[in-house]
Amino acid sequence: MINPGYPDEKDDYYNDPKAFLWELVPDGPNLVMDLGCASGRLGQRLLELNKAYKLVGVELFEPAARQAMKFYENVYIADIEDLCLDYDKHFDIVICGDILEHLKDPLKTLTRIHKWLKDDGLLICSFPNIRYWRIIRDLMLRGEWKYTTSGIMDQTHLRFFTVRSFKRILNEASFDVVRVNIRLPGGPRQAMFNRVTLGLFKEFLGFQIVLSARKHNHISRP
């Protein structure tokens, strides 16, 4: 689904290189599928870092997809959930950067990704953290569940996840979680509180979850 708050391919929404994903991408050479590749800035950076030698992307917003074609060998201009691809154990890495929360059936897409990945393939995902303290505060103290044009409560989000609930859906799709990062806002108070509490409340402080998972061969759902 296209976010109506960002109609221009030159907007930051479509040109974010998503630096928070780089460290989870192992050194190359890697054949990478980037779902929701936007204008291709993430892929461009992976090529520059020699973490990818070839890129395939999927992007619904055509103007941004045309920009990504400068860096990607192939870009499918389509809705991920409507796209039928016959890749079989083809990719080293599949990246879903803030994509799965927009889908009607993320488990179905994850199951397809499992098929596309090589046996030792890696899935790298990021998604908003619905357990973020501001969301809980608004719900519990103010009775608010209000959608916005961007952020965790983006009006185009159809699904909401915590670390635990996302691990569950990954397990259903036959993935094993390798690493979990929780992104905190840039303010010093949150960072200080996280240090003082030894990270026990980090998931409440973080606005975004970034994780990697490796496929295993048993498929629990066709």
Helical H segments across 36-161, by residue range = 41-48, 62-68, 106-116, 133-142
- Region class of 55: left (phi > 0), else alpha (psi between -120 and 50), else beta: beta
Most confident of 12-26, 187-201, 208-222: 12-26
At 220, is the pLDDT very low, low, confident or very high (cuts 50, 70, 90)? very low
Peptide bond into 29 cis (omega under 30): yes
Which among 181, 168, 171, 186 is positioned nearest to 209, based on CA atoms?
A: 181
Separation CA 13–CA 26 (nearest Å): 25
Q: Is 70 exceeded by the pLDDT of residue 207? A: yes
In terms of CATH architecture, what is 12-128+154-183+209-215? Answer: 3-Layer(aba) Sandwich (3.40)
How high is the pLDDT of residue 8?
Answer: 65
Which among 170, 179, 181, 180 is positioned nearest to 216, based on CA atoms?
A: 170
Beta carbons of 158 and 132 less than 8 angstroms apart: no
Q: Is 90 exceeded by the pLDDT of residue 201? A: no
User: In this structure, are strands 54-58 and 31-35 parallel, antiparallel, or unpaired?
Assistant: parallel
Task: Classify burial at 196, counting beta carbons within 10 Å of its beta carbon; exposed 0-12, middle 13-18, buried 19 or more.
Answer: exposed
76's enclosing H/E stretch is strand 74-76
How high is the pLDDT of residue 184?
Answer: 87
Q: Is 70 exceeded by the pLDDT of residue 127? A: yes
Q: What is the value of pTM for the model shown? A: 0.89
Tokens of 177: 């979680």
Domain ranges of the chain: 12-128+154-183+209-215
Separation CA 28–CA 17 (nearest Å): 18
Tokens of 189: 């108070």
Beta carbons of 68 and 95 less than 8 angstroms apart: no
Query: pLDDT, tens digit, for every residue of 174-190?
Result: 999 999 999 988 766 66
Beta carbons of 40 and 17 less than 8 angstroms apart: no
Query: pLDDT, tens digit, for every residue of 91-119?
Result: 999 999 999 999 999 999 999 999 999 99
